[in-house]
Structure 1
Amino acid sequence: MNEKQNLLNYNQQALNDFFAKLGEKPYRTKQIMKWIYKDHVFDFNQMLNLSKKLREQLTEIACIDFPTVVSKNHALDGVVKWVIDMGSENNVEMVYIPEKDRGTLCISSQVGCALACTFCSTGYQGFNRNLSTAEIIAQVLIANLHLTSSGKRISNVVFMGMGEPMLNEEAVYSACDLLLDDLSFGLSRRKVTISSSGVVPALERMSERVPVSLAISLHAPTDDLRDELVPINKKYPIKELMRACDVYLNAGTQERHILFEYVMLKGVNDSQQHAEQLAKLLKGVSAKVNLIPFNPFPQSEYQVSSVRTIEKFQNILFSQGIRTMTRRTRGEDVDAACGQLAGKVKDKTKRTDARRN
């Protein structure tokens, strides 16, 4: 018996193709997307504007399946963290961050992460697999279902949870299609952000494939230091990364900007020299820098830079005309802050075993 097709895997075009193979007209796509994404109805038998024959056919060959929520934790500052069971002893985490004028959902794209950035808890868990489009989109639906009852909304979605989105391109692109589609979530392109550590070929493809916002996990202004903090830099050094950023900025007809993320590590990347090097690197680039105070986790030996050091670093960038902000730490009491997401990963890379020995 063939496995049922999870319709959460399909963007609008894929659903059109799916229904065409069943001999149905494209309007069926609009009907079923409304049921799923607007009405939150996931049982085909309740979709009464579909013919009885089609409802029976869909029940036989398709499904709308969600992963299970393992836990939901509320931080004192209003942040919510979900742990979601992805099967085979694997969990991922997602986080909702409420602000006065918006609500941001931080979602995961992989079970674990293969890039092993030294300041990130996810990197210490190892890597198991990519998430499907359905598993990515289900995170947004789950959060919507949980938040609606409390009058909260998701205005922004960021791929800044577990995993490197650009190592799971097709699923992430398809999920972005759904996030932007008026028939599903209807977010504007500026409200959806992909964060990458710098997978250069994928970044160049993304520039043309999905018109969403881009954040780059930079964290160092020189190759020597970035090789240590963000190991993928050894394959795609800063010069190549900046060239890919230029491709992104010049793609399409609408103005684009890049957010460069920079975690502040005491005595590692937070000196006046580092700030000056960063300002020189980003001179003339349409960008903003987000300084992120390091959030500790058990396996790490790093410490967060002092408030005074971060302010001094920020002022140097300001003086060089670089737009800069410092991210306020949120959700730290439930391990939901940036860099703290760990989930539960059955590591296929054996990297965790190597660290123990």
Structure 2
Amino acid sequence: MSLSLDLTSPDARAALACPVAAEKPPLIGLTRPELAEALVAAGIVPEKQAKMRASQLWHWLYVRGVSDFSLMFNISKDLRTALDRHFSIARPEVVEEQNSTDGTRKWLFRFPPRGAGRPVEIETVYIPEEGRGTLCISSQVGCTLTCSFCHTGTQKLVRNLTAEEILAQLLSARDRLGDFPDRDTPAGAIVPTEGRKVSNIVMMGMGEPLYNFEAVKKALLIASDGDGLALSKRRITLSTSGVVPEIYRTGEEIGVMLAISLHATNDDLRDLLVPINKKFPLKDLIAACRAYPGLSNARRITFEYVMLKDVNDSLDDARALVALLKGIPAKINLIPFNPWPGTNYQCSDWETIERFADFINNAGYASPIRTPRGRDILAACGQLKSESERMRKVDRLALEAMMIAGHGEA
């Protein structure tokens, strides 16, 4: 039985979220030079102090994880008051939190309007595993790609997320998980990697990260900064459906691990499953993968392959996959299809998936079968979608019950 917490009541909102005031520009998501420039432009810090003050703020925002200027105790009260008057460091509103029976947690975050726009909602998922905890982060509200097996693809693109909004998912998750130092921790302390609940992040949530390249780049470089959130780039994975020009840029300008949402070994089928293939066909995509900087057996590209019954799961498909990726240091993640209300696809039989995996393994590629996580709260791969775009909750839960009964899942 999953647990869902509706956090939309006024009391819950006051206790658990502080929506960003639209009139105050955020400091989250700014680089150090941009932080210094913002402080000087606001007239609250002289230029000769700006670099030092920016470093102080950076520590409080990304090491200590504070979301209230009043908690920055080594900054004068007058300056804290001025910062609060001009800027925001508040978290997004937590509209809903769902806890799966397997420990997966999903949050529905609401961000305030940008310009003349409306508030938007996105989903973020935390997956605890032995020895690690992975946060799946969204980069867009909705998606333009319309991959036929993906629930998120049925929601039209509303807008790109800003660097602040991408980072806010990580900061908010760490808040909720108790993953920042408490107030009694010495001011210079940094949370050790081994003690983190969020040890890895994957850009695999809502949207295509490489269609929001600049904001994603900025957010990931801040997340991997050694004097802040300090996540190793080898613990950050960016997943793309195949935006070939930006794959080259990702390797050169961001340097994180790469994952490719592949799912087919020929253009005809991939055109159907992943329509972006019509613009960037397999030959171009594979060429970009071969050219990705730093590839080795220790730094492999992950190829994601959803297992669809009688669509792409034959041994002939497995042979074609091995041939397609020949010579690329790679891991092939086999993903049992996660059903969602209204889909026409079915998950491959387990015996078929295992036979497929055995063939890939025998060919020399690691091919783990991804354990479905958070299915009972629609948090599994390909199931994310803003609550505001879903059917009413009662109808959704009824359909989920029908779906579970039809597929024999517990």
**AA aligned opposite 2:363:** Q
Does the 8 A contact of 1:94 with 1:139 survive in 2?
yes
Unaligned runs of 5+ in 1: 348-357
**AA aligned opposite 1:10:** L
Alignment of structure 1 residues 330-349 onto 2, 5 Å: 330-344=373-387
Q: Distance in 2 between matches of 1:226 and 1:291?
A: 16
Q: Aligned with 1:308: secondary structure?
A: helix
Tell me whether 1:324 sits opposite 2:349 in the alignment. Answer: no
Tell me whether 1:44 sits opposite 2:69 in the alignment. Answer: yes
Q: Determine the structure 2 residue equivalent to 1:130.
A: 160
Task: Give me the TM-score of the superposition, normalised by structure 1.
Answer: 0.91
Runs (4+) of structure 1 exceeding 6 A deviation are 149-152
Unaligned runs of 5+ in 2: 1-21, 113-117, 181-194, 391-410
Q: Distance in 2 between matches of 1:89 and 1:52?
A: 32
Q: Determine the structure 2 residue equivalent to 1:77.
A: 102
Does the 8 A contact of 2:252 with 2:293 survive in 1?
no
- Structure 2 vs 1, CA of residues 256 and 19 (structure 1 numbering), >3 Å: closer, same or farther? farther
Does the 8 A contact of 1:20 with 1:26 survive in 2?
no
Q: Aligned with 2:126: secondary structure?
A: strand
Alignment of structure 1 residues 195-210 onto 2, 5 Å: 195-210=239-254
Alignment of structure 1 residues 138-153 onto 2, 5 Å: 138-148=168-178, 153=197
Q: Distance in 1 between matches of 2:158 and 2:321?
A: 34
Of Structure 1 and Structure 2, the greater strand share is in 1
Shift of 1:250: 4.7
More moved, 117-126 vs 23-32? 23-32
- Structure 2 vs 1, CA of residues 89 and 11 (structure 1 numbering), >3 Å: closer, same or farther? closer
Q: Aligned with 1:342: secondary structure?
A: coil
- Structure 2 vs 1, CA of residues 98 and 255 (structure 1 numbering), >3 Å: closer, same or farther? closer
Alpha-carbon displacement from aligned partner over 1:32-60 (angstroms, at most 9, x marks no partner):
12212222322224323224553343233
Q: Aligned with 1:244: secondary structure?
A: helix
Shift of 1:247: 2.3
**AA aligned opposite 1:93:** E
Shift of 1:152: 6.8
Q: Distance in 2 between matches of 1:144 and 1:53?
A: 29
Shift of 1:316: 1.5
- Structure 2 vs 1, CA of residues 204 and 149 (structure 1 numbering), >3 Å: closer, same or farther? closer
Alignment of structure 1 residues 282-301 onto 2, 5 Å: 282-301=325-344
Does the 8 A contact of 2:33 with 2:51 survive in 1?
no
Alignment of structure 1 residues 183-332 onto 2, 5 Å: 183-250=227-294, 256-332=299-375
Q: Determine the structure 2 residue equivalent to 1:7.
A: 27
Q: Determine the structure 2 residue equivalent to 1:29.
A: 54
Q: Distance in 2 between matches of 1:346 and 1:77?
A: 26
Does the 8 A contact of 1:107 with 1:159 survive in 2?
yes
Q: Distance in 2 between matches of 1:137 and 1:250?
A: 26
Alpha-carbon displacement from aligned partner over 1:284-325 (angstroms, at most 9, x marks no partner):
101100000000001210000011111111112122222211
More moved, 155-164 vs 54-63? 54-63
- Structure 2 vs 1, CA of residues 254 and 58 (structure 1 numbering), >3 Å: closer, same or farther? farther
Q: Determine the structure 2 residue equivalent to 1:168.
A: 212
Does the 8 A contact of 2:68 with 2:90 survive in 1?
no
Shift of 1:4: 2.7
How much is the aligned-residue C-alpha RMSD, in angstroms? 2.3
1:100 to 130, 133, 139: 130
Shift of 1:254: 11
Alpha-carbon displacement from aligned partner over 1:180-237 (angstroms, at most 9, x marks no partner):
0123211111111110000011111111111111100000011111000000000000
Does the 8 A contact of 1:12 with 1:178 survive in 2?
no
Q: Distance in 1 between matches of 2:330 and 2:254?
A: 19
Q: Distance in 2 between matches of 1:345 and 1:239?
A: 38
Tell me whether 1:113 sits opposite 2:143 in the alignment. Answer: yes
Task: Give me the TM-score of the superposition, normalised by structure 2.
Answer: 0.79
Q: Distance in 2 between matches of 1:14 and 1:195?
A: 28
**Count of residue pairs the alignment pairs up:** 345
Does the 8 A contact of 2:143 with 2:206 survive in 1?
yes
- Structure 2 vs 1, CA of residues 254 and 5 (structure 1 numbering), >3 Å: closer, same or farther? farther
Shift of 1:339: 0.7
Q: Determine the structure 2 residue equivalent to 1:179.
A: 223
**AA aligned opposite 1:290:** N
